[in-house]
Structure 1
Amino acid sequence: MADTFSLSLAQVWAAVDYIDEHRDDLMEVHRRIEERNARGHSSEIREKLETGHFRHKAWMNRRQAEADEHDGAGHFAGY
């Protein structure tokens, strides 16, 4: 963990101590996160995600069409 996050050994031990001292609170937060994940996204969020997906796809199609006009090879300009 120390290498992955560029932490000193003292920082790792401080994190371990914090977790030990606050285990019940941390587990409650974790439980709520797991419950929320199990429920999935609300219909409002799903709609926003879908709208964003379609907008992104349309943008990518426009970019591809512009690239086709510029180089004729179907590559984005500059790539």
Structure 2
Amino acid sequence: MGEIVPAITHFEKQIEEARFECSMKGILEKHSREMPGIVEHRFNQLQEVEAILEFLNTEMRKLRAQTFRKFLEVITKHLVHVMQINL
């Protein structure tokens, strides 16, 4: 989890590079030759970002489930205590 901030910084830099890479100024024939490689490279980066997102979603679901379990335990203990007092 500690590597998330550097990953975000890395991919923000990559976005800036991609914007420059994909500008269509100059010789269009040259750009049309380079475009398949650029698209493949950027698609691979997209897959990396999606994998990171999936990991973070999984971690969030785990944390949410743990928190909910603790919440239920506390509520159950409290209700049992209240029921014992009322009896």
TM range, smaller chain = 0.3 to 0.5
Output the TM-score relative to the length of structure 1: 0.40
Output the TM-score relative to the length of structure 2: 0.36
Of structures 1 and 2, the one scoring higher in RCO (CA 8 A, sep 6+) is 2
Higher helix fraction: Structure 1 or Structure 2? 2
Give 1 or 2 for the bigger CA radius of gyration: 2
